[in-house]
Amino acid sequence: MIKNKHLVFTLPYILWLALFVTAPLVLIFYQSFLNINGHLTWDNYRDYIHSATYLQMTFNSVWYALVITVITLVVAYPVAYVIAQLRSKDFWLALIILPTWINLLLKTYAFIGLLGQHGSINNFLRFIGVGSHQLLFTNAAFVWVAAYIELPFMVLPIFNAITAIPTSLINASLDLGASRWQTFTKVIFPLSKSGVAAGIQAVFIPSLSLFMITRLIGGNRVITLGTAIEEHFLTTQNWGMGSTIGVVLVLAMLIVMVLTDDNNKKGGA
């Protein structure tokens, strides 16, 4: 009877994984071996490896994802640490999470309004006599907007890790003569590494495949694997090459997960 109950509860989860995780991955992997005419071939992987354009896109994707992750980590850790010390921590955390409830496309268009030639920022610059500048369709604008959108996903796991640290450990460190800085570097930060690793996963992995922000904010000046996948599936109709790039992204994401899992184990030890 107990085994039947377990099966009833786990069956929907198994079906969900099979239909919406395993099946799409298998389909993408199979599709990556098809050319534009639907014939089996290795040409997609050969073209990817020998193409300087695709290798440059891969480098751009990893580089921008790394920059976005570093920026969000530098901003998110102090924010999470300060919020964890406040009495009304739930209120401030809700304010940070609130933007995630807004549709990504709406937030992106909001930044277009802010950064455009006639946007709020340029209007303010003209008002103070600095003059308008080309803020939209630049690499800096893309990184800034992407970091803003991904920021809550870095703050939340770090906040949870910091709040999970027993207060008695921090008090013991201070009572034994450690300074605030020593307590942070020797107690708080090492014990919050699991949150940092989870935040890196939550930010770096989605940042590898960004394409909407690169189109609308970067203005096609920022070319990544995400934009290449969109181009192959929606424009050139070369689904095989698009799937090949998708497989490369999946492998990159798995590598990131393995690396951050190792950090998690070390931090736990």
Q: Which two tokens stand for residue 197?
A: 């690793």
Q: Is 66's pLDDT higher than 90?
A: yes
Q: Is 8's pLDDT higher than 50?
A: yes
154: nearest Cα among 89, 71, 87: 71
With pLDDT > 70 as the criterion, what percentage of the chain qualifies?
A: 95
Dist CA 212 CA 14 (whole Å) = 31
β-strand partners of 191: none
Model confidence over 90-129: pLDDT tens digits?
999 999 999 889 888 899 999 998 998 888 888 988 888 8
Q: What is the pTM of this model?
A: 0.87
Q: Which two tokens stand for residue 250?
A: 């999946």
109: nearest Cα among 136, 69, 132: 136
Q: Which two tokens stand for residue 86?
A: 């406040």
Cα dihedral sign, 124-212-53-70: positive
β-strand partners of 16: none
Domains of the chain: 32-268 (1.10.3720.10)
Dist CA 90 CA 260 (whole Å) = 27
Model confidence over 42-53: pLDDT tens digits?
999 999 999 998
